Structure 1
Amino acid sequence: MPIENIPQIYLDDNKEIPDLFVYDFKMTNDVVKSKVNLGMNMFSFLQVGKKQVHFAGTSVAVNKNQSLLLKKGNWLWTELLETEAIYYCKLFFFSEKRLCSFLEKHNLHQDEVAYENPYFIIRNDSYITSYLNSLSTIGNAPAVFMQNLLSVKFEELLLYLIQKYGRKFELYLHSLVILESSAFKKTVESKIHSNLKLEEIAFLCNMSLSTFKRNFIAEYNVSPGKWFQNKRLQRAKELLEGGNLKASDVYLEIGYNNLSNFSIAFKNKFGFSPSETS
């Protein structure tokens, strides 16, 4: 399945991506688990239909009563029609540069751990409805005024959502500008006990496999294959030492697809078989 680069596919060829960009997305057929490289953070205001997004380690599903703020990255998403013949959502993309300017302008500093989810659910209300109507109205404005108008609308939306959701939303905004190395480590370490392949983890980190391996070695000073194996085997040893589990109970949980391969790797690392662990 090809990867869709968003918002690039919504722009004219060779056109520079603006800091703020609104796009009306419509479709007439269901789309299931399409691979998406989301290159900018994005509000997804669902108007008609259902949407589900799969992230690294979690997923979220919303209907037309909810909207989403999504962090940029590689995601899988599903968009479904309901009773209507057309699926419709309004997408509002914004750059990290524009978000940082907003946080600095309003003196919103991070003094605690940032919100960790790659999404934030917004419950639609009368304000959101009128806000979307206003976005549609300014969509007809001359291009020379568009960025200034969108700047005002972007600031208005963030101020409203901070008023509505408080510190929780502020923390989420800070998480959108978190250092890339920290985001990389968070994704990697959340996959220690999964059975995802390196290529799949690389995709969720928004990297090619070769770039992922290079960044991994720079971050951890060891190859990813060796690092994951050591972490998973150490976890298996801890589980087996509890005395209530056997190798057949844990090998899938720690990321091995084959019991025999797990037993061999375990003995090579610790010098004794899983059955000899007490």
Structure 2
Amino acid sequence: MQLDKEHKKPSSIVFHCYHQQNWEGEHFVPEHTLSYQIAGSLTFNDGSNEYVSSNGSFRFLRRNQLMKFLKQPPEHGEYQSVSIYLDQQTLKDYCLEYGIEGKHTPNSIKLLNLQKNNLFLGYIDSLFRYHKMGGLESQELMNLKLKEAITLVLITNPELKDVLFDFTDPHKIDLEAFMNKNYHFNVKLDRFAYLTGRSLATFKRDFETIFNSSPGRWLQQKRLEQAYYLITRKGKTASDIYLDLGFEDLSHFSFVFKKMFGESPSKISSV
């Protein structure tokens, strides 16, 4: 089935479609997301585990986490998927309407590949039809389809109830362990602060107490030390690793690498 190019209008239900080129990057996941892989594959990496979704896969992605991704179109084809974003207000309204009490329960679920069934397939087929007719531009219909998605998740995966309806912000966690695991994500300091359950000012204060360094200096040094290890011990090149280590620009990475180690990445790798 042919889809329009990626739906640019802000929406809770988004169709993605593009040609040929692989697309990789990273992002903060602000809302619970239910999605269906139509064509191609999508690989997520949270720094510890890798999650792969291929054609016909349904997945649930929990909010408030950092993920790297790689989107790969099929050979000679297009990458196609649809994402349903379950925002907090919609979930709160659902709780009120159906008398559900959400509660905070520590949960390790980050990404869950859902079992394919006729309920989900019927739902996705209805989205295709409404999308083709422009029906999803109606906010009333959009709200109904979001409620339907929540209901289907609860019916098919009741263990996700306490994940969906946990409206608490991240609690204060071990800052040292979190940063040592997630330093390679290229996000702003206020995002790191939020995910560790701190205000930005408290995050900076706690960070300097623990690491005896400012967050900016520590992040750059940590990323460059890992780069040095990967280049000298694992045979990687600068172009292989700069994005994975949180650098946006290859030339900037090479500049700060040389400033720290005295040689460019290419000269270090040839030693």
How does the TM-score come out when normalised to structure 1? Answer: 0.60
Structure 1 residues 74 and 29: CA distance shift in structure 2, 3 A:
farther
Contact 1:73 1:205 in 2 (8 A): no
The residue number in structure 2 matching 1:134 is 126
Max Rg structure? 1
The residue number in structure 1 matching 2:8 is 11
Deviation at 1:47, TM superposition (A): 1.0
CA distance in 1: counterparts of 2:117 and 2:45, whole angstroms: 25
Aligned mate of 1:80, from 64, 72, 97: 72
Give SS of 2:140's match: helix
The residue number in structure 2 matching 1:203 is 187
2:178 maps to 1:191: yes
Deviations along 1:233-263, one digit per CA (max 9) or x if unpaired, are xxxxxxxxxxxxxxxxxxxxxx9x99xxxxx
Contact 1:22 1:92 in 2 (8 A): yes
CA distance in 2: counterparts of 1:143 and 1:196, whole angstroms: 37
CA distance in 1: counterparts of 2:116 and 2:189, whole angstroms: 30
How does the TM-score come out when normalised to structure 2? Answer: 0.61
Counterparts in 2 of 1:234-249, with a 5 A limit? none
Aligned mate of 2:169, from 146, 162, 179: 179
CA distance in 2: counterparts of 1:143 and 1:81, whole angstroms: 25
Counterparts in 2 of 1:219-258, with a 5 A limit? 222-228=205-211
Deviations along 1:19-51, one digit per CA (max 9) or x if unpaired, are xx2221012234353123445432221111111
Give SS of 1:207's match: helix
Deviation at 1:142, TM superposition (A): 5.3
Aligned mate of 1:29, from 14, 20, 26: 20
2:125 maps to 1:164: no
CA distance in 2: counterparts of 1:143 and 1:63, whole angstroms: 25
Amino acid at match of 2:119: Y
Counterparts in 2 of 1:150-161, with a 5 A limit? 150-161=142-153
Structure 1 residues 196 and 173: CA distance shift in structure 2, 3 A:
closer
Deviations along 1:129-188, one digit per CA (max 9) or x if unpaired, are 2111111222224577x111121121122112211111x11022034x3314x2xx3484
The residue number in structure 2 matching 1:251 is none
Structure 1 residues 127 and 189: CA distance shift in structure 2, 3 A:
farther
Amino acid at match of 1:154: L
Contact 1:44 1:69 in 2 (8 A): yes
Contact 1:114 1:171 in 2 (8 A): no
Gaps of 5+ in 2: 1-5, 213-225, 230-271
CA distance in 2: counterparts of 1:170 and 1:179, whole angstroms: 17
Give SS of 1:223's match: helix
Aligned mate of 2:42, from 40, 51, 68: 51
Counterparts in 2 of 1:88-107, with a 5 A limit? 88-107=80-99
Aligned mate of 1:116, from 101, 108, 120: 108
Contact 1:74 1:205 in 2 (8 A): no
Give SS of 1:178's match: coil
Amino acid at match of 1:218: T
CA distance in 2: counterparts of 1:187 and 1:174, whole angstroms: 24
Amino acid at match of 1:137: R
CA distance in 1: counterparts of 2:143 and 2:154, whole angstroms: 17
Amino acid at match of 1:35: E
What percentage of residue pairs aligned between the two structures are identical?
Answer: 8
Number of equivalenced pairs = 207
Give SS of 1:131's match: helix
Amino acid at match of 2:169: L
CA distance in 2: counterparts of 1:218 and 1:75, whole angstroms: 24
